[in-house]
Structure 1
Amino acid sequence: MIASTAINPEHYVSEDTFQRELENVFKQHWLFIGFKDELANHNDFLTLEIAGFPIVVQNFNGELSALLNICSHRKARLQTASKGNRPLRCPYHCWSFKEGGKLAGIPGNNQEFQLDEAQKEKLSLRQFAVDSCGDFVFVRLAPEGQSLKEFLGDCYGMLEDFSDHFTDPVHSGKYQWQSNWKLAVETVLEVYHVPGTHPDSFSHLAKAECDIISVPPHNLGNTPLLDAPKKWWSGVRKQLKLIQHPQLNEYNHVFVYPNLAIGITNGSLMSVQTYDVIDRTQTVLHYRLRMLGTAQGHAKDGALKRAVVANFSDFNHTILEEDRLMAESCQQSYAHTDTAAILGKCEDRIRLFHDAWRNDMETRP
């Protein structure tokens, strides 16, 4: 038998498993949080939850700091929006912070607190590791571990290459799925489900076959596109004067463990998705769509570009909604079975994902 056995269903519903995942998976590895152009200017910031920690990544005069997004005074959130441009100043009592999370200002300190420099130093925000590969920005909660380049391995050069070509951010958003994060990830790691789940969407884009490459703990999948979408993208590139990626012309997919998925369509469109944990049965899927650039920069905004973006944004929405329904259906079932799923050869990317997960869960206490 060439089939393999998947993770046991209990690990999709168990609170104990979920808490161990926070410690052994999400706190240990580098996690994608956004692109450099989202943090390009002084005081630009992004916020997110990683393993239950509220994190803010902020630009301080060109230097990025990843910090605990909690004021050291009365514990209010410092940045309350998901992204923006604003000094790192508490909206409650206006305590302010600078690069590295150092305390910058306390209103009325001489009258109300009389904190000296040593005491202020102790009130610095907790800082986390932050690094980038090309335009991809990552954060790691663990104080020690592999460098980002070591962690990404063979994927490091790919992300640098993608950064050079897919420079035009055209759409982004998020969905909340009522499913375990692993089930959400699994929806993008095989094309066996395409005829059943996507008969009127992805089935018209690519063939239900995949060339799989293992680059542990990550993996790659290359799927042949059908002729119709190739012709459509050829026309789009001609009209918008886009420069196609020189090597990628099918549907090329990169999964960076544990929760980053990057899909390249005909060397023209990059879809970047993360599956961020809320709890054992809820996941937030964040997506960002980025197009090729032109010789002069980004394609000019206009009716044609807006129509193109609307077309593939709607297509992306349809596929994600179809996948969500399947992931949520499986989640509801997993509480009522103790029999592990069977993975065929066509689902080998899920097996590779499970192998990486098992390694984390079994080699750490």
Structure 2
Amino acid sequence: MQSRMLPSYYLSQDVFAREQRKIFRKLWLFAGLTSLVPDNNSFIVRKTAGIPVVIQNFHGQLKAFENVCLHRSAPLQQGFCGRRALVCPYHAWSYDVSGRAKNIPDCDAIYGFGEVEKQSLKLREFALKQVGSLLFINLADEPMPFEEQFQAEFVESLQSAAESFDSEVMVTTWHGRFNWKLVYENLRDFNHVKYLHGKSLASVASFPFLAEGSAEQALEPLMDISSAGLRKTMRPFSYGGPEGVIEAIRDVPWLQRVERWGSQDAYFNWLAYPNLHIASGNGGYSFTIEHHVPVAPDRTDVEIYFVTAKRKAPYAASYQVLLANMHYSKKILSEDIEMLERIQSVLHDDAPIPTQGAYESTNRKIERWYATLMETGHEL
């Protein structure tokens, strides 16, 4: 059975622009961790679907605004994260918790704004949702309800795990030379683990799966292409829980220093479509969080966060534990990323369409949804 994914879906700037408008500016997207904005004036800077965003802490209240000053379009905050009041470094315009310009130096003397004009100066605000330690943002003027994108049982599982994250976090970024969709096709394909990760992940974990149906079963039910129908079809794209069988967990000293999430010795995965993957390869003692940021048709930034479960008390070696987890996770990720970059490098307009097997039924359902959204005038 042939895939529905045409080479242009991974190469075309026009398709990439449609994705940004139809998917990334409509859906709830992972944007960061609350541990990065713990105090008043702490902030995170994002670029989401091409739009610069700042998530700012105002005395414990988190708000998300377009990171552009209303005077001369200078970025209000810079860097990945930090601690600074929401003040433009160019001409010192400052903004309050509602996004309104609260102070414009020498306003009466040199700007001449009337009171009505000053009151109208308000930053564009975006919807923000907290799930445990995870922050999600929605760029739409009228955001869909969170529960229309994610099933209740998935949110419950995700929140339970995310509430266990420790506040100490290590972050790194990988600038990948591949299309963002290749990541998710790979994450939903357990068949590659024993081959691509034969000497790494496959040596400590296995991922049993059941093929559904057969490759010859080409008939599929009609899809409801209304906005409500497309949203309903999309909900199962995000899922989480135990998906792999792991070897017995070695009793190393740091495991006794954290409050383990859960009690099941399993490899856990959570996939929040379209830009978040969380994995715990040791049954809830630590977590690798992957944030996938599409940059261009052939470029994806992979921001990787490493956290353990909550520490019972501070301990001197916690940084080394995170560093060791990072090095191990990066070894596996490097194998994936190298393969995805190889795939991207051989794509061209007349490239052969992939042939799929029965076990790839989930990928096929998502391809159908994606092609319907990209090739019609329908919107989420």
Superposed displacement of residue 111, structure 1: 1.0
Percent of residue pairs identical: 26
Aligned to 2:305: 288
Deviations 1:185-228 (A, max 9, x none): 3332222222332222112231143479995232346433332x
> Does the CA-based 8 Å contact 2:77-2:86 persist in structure 1?
yes
> Within 5 A, what are the aligned runs for 1:35-184?
35-154=33-152, 155-184=154-183
Distance 1:358 1:306 in 2: 44
Aligned to 2:316: 302
> Does the CA-based 8 Å contact 1:132-1:138 persist in structure 2?
yes
Superposed displacement of residue 288, structure 1: 1.0
Distance 2:372 2:113 in 1: 47
Aligned to 2:296: 279
Superposed displacement of residue 247, structure 1: 4.7
Deviations 1:41-90 (A, max 9, x none): 11111111111111111111222221111111111111111111101111
Q: 1:4 to 1:261 in 2, by over 3 A?
A: farther
Superposed displacement of residue 117, structure 1: 2.7
The size of the alignment, in residue pairs, is: 355
Unaligned runs of 5+ in 1: none
> Does the CA-based 8 Å contact 2:133-2:165 persist in structure 1?
no
Q: 1:8 to 1:248 in 2, by over 3 A?
A: farther
Distance 2:87 2:169 in 1: 30
Distance 2:132 2:210 in 1: 26
Aligned to 2:285: 268
> Within 5 A, what are the aligned runs for 1:334-345?
334-335=347-348, 337-345=350-358
Give the TM-score taking structure 1 as reference length: 0.89
Q: 1:4 to 1:133 in 2, by over 3 A?
A: farther
Q: 1:93 to 1:215 in 2, by over 3 A?
A: closer
Q: 1:90 to 1:231 in 2, by over 3 A?
A: same
| Range with bigger deviation, 105-114 or 167-176 | 167-176
Superposed displacement of residue 253, structure 1: 0.9
> Does the CA-based 8 Å contact 1:6-1:351 persist in structure 2?
yes
Deviations 1:282-327 (A, max 9, x none): 1111111121124x4x5x3324x44433322111111121111111
> Does the CA-based 8 Å contact 1:253-1:262 persist in structure 2?
yes
> Does the CA-based 8 Å contact 1:171-1:289 persist in structure 2?
yes
> Within 5 A, what are the aligned runs for 1:218-229?
218-220=238-240, 222-227=242-247
Q: In the alignment, is residue 318 of structure 1 matched against residue 334 of structure 2?
A: no
Unaligned runs of 5+ in 2: 213-233
Runs of 4+ residues deviating >6 angstroms? 211-214
Aligned to 2:225: none
